């Protein structure tokens, strides 16, 4: 498959996130890949140790991804869920299993550059076995018209001794209406790092994200970082939830949200719970503007307050 056989505007949106287009094109680059054009599977490639299957359904696809036991792959598994239509419904049902002792990164990209009433839904189940290193990076681009309605849900089980990293980025373009729910269940000695970044840029942007970690196994540890900005009437609501339901577990929720311009709203609702005297769960949240000292430091380099704020937002939302 060549670039010209795939909608150009979806590919361009990948470039905005500094993602190499070739990595997503079957027949090019390395790594397993699944490429969607609306609800059609346009490409599917497997590599040794990775089973990747897709099946088209009425309004979307069911995708099964299995990382076989002991498989350690350097190249990410690429998943591209692109839609260049203005309207329609795309429903994705991924079922992802990483067997014991695997190491893998999944790079998912959801691009809806022309969305104007388009609905994207995902209902994902992740099972990560014992002693795995599993990273899931998801970047979104919803065009410039605040016209997408996006509602992904993910249930994620992280097995004993595994490390799970989740990075969700919705920082380019205008998000539209976004409602995301992620539930992560962490077993004994597992480590969860989840970072969410979102930027609402107009009064038609409403972002609600609920990121939950349930520390169910002894000595499970987690950190949720939620970073957001709302500009020109945009609205962001972040729920950061951590429950320490086992002995010696340790969790932290951190939420930083910046409000820019009148009418913009940022809200943070951390919810933390501990039910064992040996567990520790904490949260911190800051909303509003950046600390004056940070602004002073940048202004002392000759930047105006507005320029300093832009630099700080860029840093806060910078993908790692």
Partner 1 sequence: MDSCLPLLELKDIIIPTLDKKQIILNQTSFGVEEGSIHAIIGPNGSGKSTLAYTIMGLGNYKPSQGSIIFDGIDITNLNITERANLGITLAWQEPARIEGLSIQRYISLGIKNKTNINEKILEALQIVNLEPEKYINRCIDESLSGGERKRIELAAAIAMRPRLILLDEPDSGLDMIVIEDFLNIFNKIKALDMTILLITHREDIGMVADYGTLIWRGEHLLTDIFPKVMVKYCARAGLKEFCKRTLFDENGECPAFDRDYIDRIFREEGRE
Residue 293 and residue 262 in contact, taking contact as beta carbons nearer than 8 Å? no
Scanning the structure block, which residue is given the tokens 């307050």? Answer: 305
Angstrom distance (rounded) from CA 257 to CA 289: 8
Residue 289: CB minimum distance to partner 1, A = 13
Residue 166: CB minimum distance to partner 1, A = 17
Q: Which is nearer to partner 1, 128 or 313 (CB)?
A: 313
Residue 140: CB minimum distance to partner 1, A = 19
Q: Kindly identify the residues of this chain, within the stretch 180-239, that bind partner 1 according to CB under 8 A.
A: none
**Of 205, 226, 231, nearest in space to 149 by CA:** 205
Residue 284 touching partner 1 (CB under 8 A): no
| Cβ neighbours of 224 (radius 10 Å) | 28
Q: In what order do the strands lie in the sheet with 280-288?
A: 40-45, 33-37, 77-82, 103-111, 133-141, 163-172, 191-200, 221-231, 250-260, 280-288
Binding map of partner 1 across residues 239-278, x = CB under 8 A, - = no contact: ----------------------------------------
Show the CA angle centred on residue 90, arms to residues 229 and 155, nearest 5°: 65
Q: Kindly identify the residues of this chain, within the stretch 294-313, that bind partner 1 according to CB under 8 A.
A: 294, 296-305, 311-312
Residue 315: CB minimum distance to partner 1, A = 4
Residue 253 and residue 270 in contact, taking contact as beta carbons nearer than 8 Å? yes
Q: Which is nearer to partner 1, 93 or 294 (CB)?
A: 294
Q: Which is nearer to partner 1, 259 or 317 (CB)?
A: 317
Residue 306: CB minimum distance to partner 1, A = 10
Residue 293 touching partner 1 (CB under 8 A): yes
Scanning the structure block, which residue is given the tokens 């088209």? Answer: 56
Q: Which residues bind partner 1 (CB under 8 A)?
A: 291-294, 296-305, 311-312, 314-318, 320
């Amino acid at each position: 498959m060549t670039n010209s056989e795939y909608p150009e505007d979806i590919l361009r949106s990948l470039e905005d996130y500094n993602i190499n287009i070739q990595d997503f094109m079957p027949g090019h680059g390395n790594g397993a890949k699944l490429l969607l054009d609306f609800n059609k599977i346009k490409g599917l490639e497997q590599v040794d140790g990775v089973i990747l299957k897709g099946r088209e359904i009425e309004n979307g696809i069911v995708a099964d991804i299995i990382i076989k036991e002991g498989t350690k792959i350097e190249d990410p598994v690429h998943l591209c869920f692109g839609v260049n239509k203005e309207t329609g419904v795309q429903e994705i049902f991924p079922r992802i299993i990483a067997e014991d002792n695997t190491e893998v990164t999944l790079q998912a990209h959801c691009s809806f550059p022309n969305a104007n009433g388009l609905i994207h839904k995902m209902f994902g189940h992740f099972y990560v076995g014992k002693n795995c290193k599993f990273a899931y990076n998801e970047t979104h681009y919803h065009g410039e018209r605040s016209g997408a309605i996006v509602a992904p849900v993910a249930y994620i089980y992280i097995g004993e001794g595994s490390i799970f990293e989740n990075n969700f980025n919705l920082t380019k373009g205008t998000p539209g209406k976004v409602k995301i729910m992620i539930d992560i269940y962490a077993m004994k000695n597992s480590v969860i790092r989840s970072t969410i970044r979102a930027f609402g840029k107009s009064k038609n942007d409403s972002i609600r994200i609920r990121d939950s970690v349930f520390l169910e196994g002894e000595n499970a540890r987690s950190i949720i970082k939620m970073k957001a900005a709302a500009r020109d009437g945009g609205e962001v609501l972040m729920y950061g939830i951590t429950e320490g339901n086992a002995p010696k577990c340790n969790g932290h929720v951190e939420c930083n949200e910046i409000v820019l311009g009148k009418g913009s709203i940022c809200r943070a609702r951390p919810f933390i719970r501990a039910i064992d005297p040996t567990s520790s769960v904490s949260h911190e949240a800051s909303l509003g503007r950046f600390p004056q000292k940070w602004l002073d430091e940048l202004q002392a380099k000759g930047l105006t307050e507005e320029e300093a704020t832009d630099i700080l937002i860029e840093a806060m939302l910078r993908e790692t």
